[in-house]
Structure 1
Amino acid sequence: MPIKILFENSVFSWVVITTIIVFIIIINGFLAMKTIEDLSATQSSLYNTSDVIGELDDLHNVVLMAETGQRGYLLTEIPEYLTPYENALDRLSEQLNDIEKLDSEVPGQKKRIESLIVLVEQKIIELIHTVELAQANEEKHALKQVMSGRGRNLYKELRAQLENIKLLEINYRNTLFAILATVEREAKVTFGISGITSTLLLLGLAFFARLNSKGEVKYRLQLEQQNDILAEKVAMRTKELTLYSDELSRSNRELEDFAFVASHDLQEPLRKIRAFGDRLQTNYAQLLDEKGADYINRMKNAAERMSNLINDLLEFSRISTRGKPFTNVHLQQVITSTIEDLEISIEESDAQIQLADLPVINADSSQMNHLFINLISNAIKFRRADVKPLIDINYCQEQIALEQWHIITVKDNGIGFEQEFADKIFVPFQRLHARTEYKGTGIGLAICRRIVERHGGNISATSVLGEGTRFRIEIPVNNTLINLIRDNTNAQQ
């Protein structure tokens, strides 16, 4: 099984396990929170109903104390019995306020408590009325009021209502105790399940960790095997590339030797052809008719073109193999020197050259000189009739793909060409015009491209027929590494 599939399966397994663990933790947390909330709610209800029962008991006791103080004063007419009676009345007022604030959870209990409060208030009025009669020396009326049984009936009704309310609260409290016991049992079960699931999770994690450890060892061994295979393939490929590089270097040396020998061997016959042509033209001109003289001129022109072509080919082949190491080159000085070399052509064509401030770049000085000689001489050669050549050389620096580049443009106002031929002009021997119109071997711009590419850059052309051409040269600012690589390659060759 491929390493990638094994890794994906391992990741998927851990995702599933993690999801299950998180799901179980969430369920346990939810059950625990629900149990805690149920316990809290039940306990709160128990506290509330206990408060209600306690307040009812206190109310009953205070009513009994008031009635006991009243009867003691009526029977003995001793003023000391009025003290507990009056204290009880004061407490009754506070107790009724507390009773009114009670919020029982028993259905209908609020109305029952309101009825109880009304009965207590009636009982208080009866007690106060009886004591006031006794204090006004109307003991007989007071005793008669007591003996009428009205106060006893009020108390019985009050007590019955109070006992009913209290009984309902006690029953509700017993129900809450039963609920609390159930919740406690459920809590034990819930926490027991949580403990069991947690234990199982720990055991599962330990199991999967052990399983994963074994899987990692297995995957690591397979990965090491794959790495060994890959390293062996890389070594084999490196060996093949080394052999290919050696073969290419040998081929390049042979090709260069062949180019040198071929150029030397080809140039020698051409020199003899030109020399014997000159002798025929000088010594036997009077013996030749017009047609013979034309043949000799054609022969000499062909020999000269052949010589130029051989020289250009040789130069084209040596751009990479015979280039000099890169140094800091002042382009301003290079182009100024180039303009001086082309001084005669510039004067004859009355050309004007506008030169911007140019930088110092890391380059091969002689090849830069050759580059701009070709571009400027082309701008002069391919000029429009009766139009003075205007050549504009500019410079800027741009950032392309996070790298800084020198951008040099050479623009002219010459004959131009159709844009569809923009790539064709950089191919060796590709001409857009007849040889009779413009002289040349058709290899100059191909040399320009080779020079720029050796410097790690690009050259392109944009043109409009009849309006001129603009050449754009792009050379990386940091091309030191390119120079080192090319120097090492040349040294190997």
Structure 2
Amino acid sequence: MESATVHTGVKTIFNNSGEAGELILTYDWSGTVIGPIDNWPTSLVITLGNILHSSFPMFLFWGDDLLCFYNDAYRPSLGIDGKHPAIGRKGSDIWPEIWDFIGPIISQVMTTGKAVWFEDQLLPIYRNGNLEEVYWTFSYSPAFGDDYIICGVLVTCMETTQAVLGRQHIAEIVEQRTVELKNAQYSLLQANHYLQNIINLFQEPLQVLEPIVENGEIIDFCFKITNNAYSAYANVTPADLQNKKVSEFFPGYFQTSSFVKVAEVFTSGVANTWDLHYNVDGLDLHNRMSATKLDTEVVVHFTDFTEVMRLQQELESKITELERSNQHLEEFVHAASHDLKEPIRKILVFNTVLKNQLTNRLQESELATFERIEKASHRMESLINDLLLFSHVSQVPHEKEDIDLNETIKQVMEDLDLDIQQKQVIIKTNTLPVVKGYRRQLQQLFQNLISNSIKYGHSERQVEIVITAGPGNDTGQKLHLIEIADNGIGFEQHYADKIFQMFTRLHGKSEYSGSGVGLAIVKKVIENHKGAIIAESKPGHGSTFKVMLPA
């Protein structure tokens, strides 16, 4: 009757005890050695009640199978994706990775009845999908049953991983800093004379400064030691500098970041490097400063890059000037070319009208003159159009877009359809990539290259152009390599760079028409896309243009 009276309050004890209490109440205990909850000994129920209502992480191994119980405070130690829920399971099943360690301890406590204590004990456990190195501070105490016999082990524990790792990290830092300071002191603080000889070996200006402190604050620094390079830089002898305030020689250094940063290095003990523009005291200097605390002093050395800054500013100014000139030149070419189109058109019109009016009265030589005027005008018109096109491709659009080169080649072939049919050109192409670029410019690039291959076809064979694609990764940058190969007349390889220059022609105007601007446009488009182009050729065996575009 007493046992029945006690167990009528089991659920009352487990109620409001969090997730762990709910798991105990809903777990099917009938298949375990301790049986249903109503049959549990009073000691187990009371022990679990104390555990579940505690805010300190607690764990209980109970019975011959060492079944597991724990409270909500212990729950985080099991990990987000780890062993939870473990209530009702055997301890050896839950902790196989550490059972060789804790199993004997549990047996010892249950056998001897003596509690054990471990502090910051490393016990790697499997949780969150990994075997984690976890540190614990914990005690194992005997848990007694109703008949005063030890029936289990009560575990109170706390995970101390972060604290242990933090102390280890601090210890490593302290050890590292201690070694660094000892090495520095051993190397530099033998004696003033010895130190002076050492620092004179430095080619860069170097000074050892001692803080001047008033009311707990650093108000200035004084020179303790300077090397020959610093003395020459400041145009003052080492003897004149020694033990003198820095502000006596450089009063303006309070107005720069120099004083504050050197003081911070001394106060914090943390070395620092910074760029200083010293534009006070009638000076205009650029220095790369470095400061390191050394015992009760600060070692400061610097590199003067004033001349480098001056040259860099000159270079930037020249670049800006060249960009401005280039812009003006492009604007002039565009305007001049546009203004020349109308006069050329009128020359062609008037030449045609006049020739038609005089056709019956013209001698053969006079008719040839009219034809020469017409051809020259057409060449000029072609040149003007190419110059306008070059001006357009020099102006880079704001945003790139995804360009399917298969569609680009298809459009080019449609535009060149008449030439392709007249010369019975064979064009073969495999699958080409999609690239980021400027649609109109890429179309012009491939149109110029294919048009060139058609124009310079070999007279003794049918023109054949093969367009292929593959990876190009010569510089570590991911590139698409597109090759346009033909079987045309080719050229000498030493002209491979020259052909991309403006107005360059390798063949006479009487043999092949053109302005000499087409490949210059190709080169400009490639530059706009941050790519590259290589020409390979051999006279009589055709040419291959390798275009590399960023992937």
Normalised TM-score (structure 1) = 0.51
Find the aligned partners of 1:246 and 1:424 in 2 and give their Cα distance: 27
Find the aligned partners of 1:349 and 1:226 in 2 and give their Cα distance: 68
In the TM superposition, 1:74-153 aligns within 5 A as none
Asked if structure 1 preserves the Cα contact closer than 8 Å seen for 2:396 and 2:528, the reply is no
**Matching of residue 470 in structure 1 with residue 548 in structure 2:** no
Instruction: State the Cα distance separating 1:212 from its structure 2 match.
Output: 4.7
Instruction: State the Cα distance separating 1:390 from its structure 2 match.
Output: 1.5
In the TM superposition, 1:166-245 aligns within 5 A as 207-208=189-190, 212=195, 215=199, 217=208, 218=226, 226-227=287-288, 230=304, 232-245=306-319
Asked if structure 1 preserves the Cα contact closer than 8 Å seen for 2:412 and 2:447, the reply is yes
- Whose radius of gyration is greater, 1 or 2? 1
For residue 355 of structure 2, the aligned residue among 281, 298, 301 is: 281
Instruction: State the Cα distance separating 1:360 from its structure 2 match.
Output: 1.1
Find the aligned partners of 1:294 and 1:324 in 2 and give their Cα distance: 49
Provide structure 2 residue ranges, at least 5 long, that are not aligned to the other structure.
1-184, 200-206, 209-225, 234-272, 277-285, 290-302
- 2:423 matched residue in structure 1: 349
Find the aligned partners of 1:393 and 1:247 in 2 and give their Cα distance: 41
Asked if structure 2 preserves the Cα contact closer than 8 Å seen for 1:355 and 1:392, the reply is yes
SS at match of 1:400: coil
For residue 422 of structure 1, the aligned residue among 481, 492, 496 is: 496
Alignment deviations for residues 139-174 of structure 1 (CA, whole Å, 9 cap, x no partner) = xxxxxxxxxxxxxxxxxxxxxxxxxxxxxxxxxxxx
AA partner of residue 452 (structure 2): N
**Matching of residue 361 in structure 1 with residue 435 in structure 2:** yes
SS at match of 1:350: coil
- 1:397 matched residue in structure 2: 471
Asked if structure 2 preserves the Cα contact closer than 8 Å seen for 1:384 and 1:414, the reply is yes
C-alpha RMSD of the superposition: 3.1
Asked if structure 1 preserves the Cα contact closer than 8 Å seen for 2:532 and 2:548, the reply is yes
Mean CA deviation greater in 385-394 or 225-234: 225-234
Instruction: State the Cα distance separating 1:416 from its structure 2 match.
Output: 1.7
- 1:376 matched residue in structure 2: 450
Instruction: State the Cα distance separating 1:328 from its structure 2 match.
Output: 1.6
Mean CA deviation greater in 298-307 or 393-402: 393-402
Asked if structure 1 preserves the Cα contact closer than 8 Å seen for 2:338 and 2:388, the reply is no
Q: How many pairs were matched up?
A: 276
In the TM superposition, 1:249-398 aligns within 5 A as 249-323=323-397, 325-398=399-472
AA partner of residue 439 (structure 2): S
Find the aligned partners of 1:252 and 1:419 in 2 and give their Cα distance: 30
For residue 407 of structure 1, the aligned residue among 465, 481, 488 is: 481
Asked if structure 1 preserves the Cα contact closer than 8 Å seen for 2:334 and 2:391, the reply is no
Instruction: State the Cα distance separating 1:405 from its structure 2 match.
Output: 1.8
Find the aligned partners of 2:362 and 2:518 in 1 and give their Cα distance: 38
Find the aligned partners of 1:314 and 1:230 in 2 and give their Cα distance: 49
- 2:61 matched residue in structure 1: none
- 2:507 matched residue in structure 1: 433
Instruction: State the Cα distance separating 1:367 from its structure 2 match.
Output: 1.0
Normalised TM-score (structure 2) = 0.46
**Matching of residue 442 in structure 1 with residue 424 in structure 2:** no
Instruction: State the Cα distance separating 1:384 from its structure 2 match.
Output: 1.9
Question: Higher helix proportion, which one?
Answer: 1
Alignment deviations for residues 83-102 of structure 1 (CA, whole Å, 9 cap, x no partner) = xxxxxxxxxxxxxxxxxxxx
Instruction: State the Cα distance separating 1:418 from its structure 2 match.
Output: 2.4
Alignment deviations for residues 347-399 of structure 1 (CA, whole Å, 9 cap, x no partner) = 12222211111111111111110111111111112112252221111111132
C-alpha change, 1:205 and 1:382, in structure 2 (3 Å) is: closer
Instruction: State the Cα distance separating 1:429 from its structure 2 match.
Output: 2.2
Mean CA deviation greater in 289-298 or 256-265: 256-265
Asked if structure 1 preserves the Cα contact closer than 8 Å seen for 2:479 and 2:548, the reply is yes
SS at match of 1:321: coil
Find the aligned partners of 1:205 and 1:353 in 2 and give their Cα distance: 75
Find the aligned partners of 2:384 and 2:522 in 1 and give their Cα distance: 17
Instruction: State the Cα distance separating 1:242 from its structure 2 match.
Output: 4.2
C-alpha change, 1:395 and 1:271, in structure 2 (3 Å) is: same
C-alpha change, 1:350 and 1:236, in structure 2 (3 Å) is: same
SS at match of 1:462: strand
Instruction: State the Cα distance separating 1:243 from its structure 2 match.
Output: 3.2
AA partner of residue 310 (structure 1): I
Alignment deviations for residues 187-244 of structure 1 (CA, whole Å, 9 cap, x no partner) = xxxxxxxxxxxxxxxx987842776599562479779774377454455345434433
Find the aligned partners of 2:337 and 2:188 in 1 and give their Cα distance: 81
Instruction: State the Cα distance separating 1:464 from its structure 2 match.
Output: 2.3
Find the aligned partners of 2:534 and 2:477 in 1 and give their Cα distance: 19
C-alpha change, 1:289 and 1:385, in structure 2 (3 Å) is: same
AA partner of residue 465 (structure 1): P
Asked if structure 2 preserves the Cα contact closer than 8 Å seen for 1:324 and 1:364, the reply is no
Asked if structure 2 preserves the Cα contact closer than 8 Å seen for 1:382 and 1:415, the reply is yes
SS at match of 1:250: helix
C-alpha change, 1:454 and 1:209, in structure 2 (3 Å) is: farther
C-alpha change, 1:404 and 1:284, in structure 2 (3 Å) is: same
Structure with higher RCO (Cα < 8 A, 6+ apart): 1
AA partner of residue 469 (structure 1): S
C-alpha change, 1:252 and 1:421, in structure 2 (3 Å) is: closer
Provide structure 1 residue ranges, at least 5 long, that are not aligned to the other structure.
1-202, 478-493
Instruction: State the Cα distance separating 1:420 from its structure 2 match.
Output: 2.8
Find the aligned partners of 1:336 and 1:273 in 2 and give their Cα distance: 36
Find the aligned partners of 2:465 and 2:425 in 1 and give their Cα distance: 8
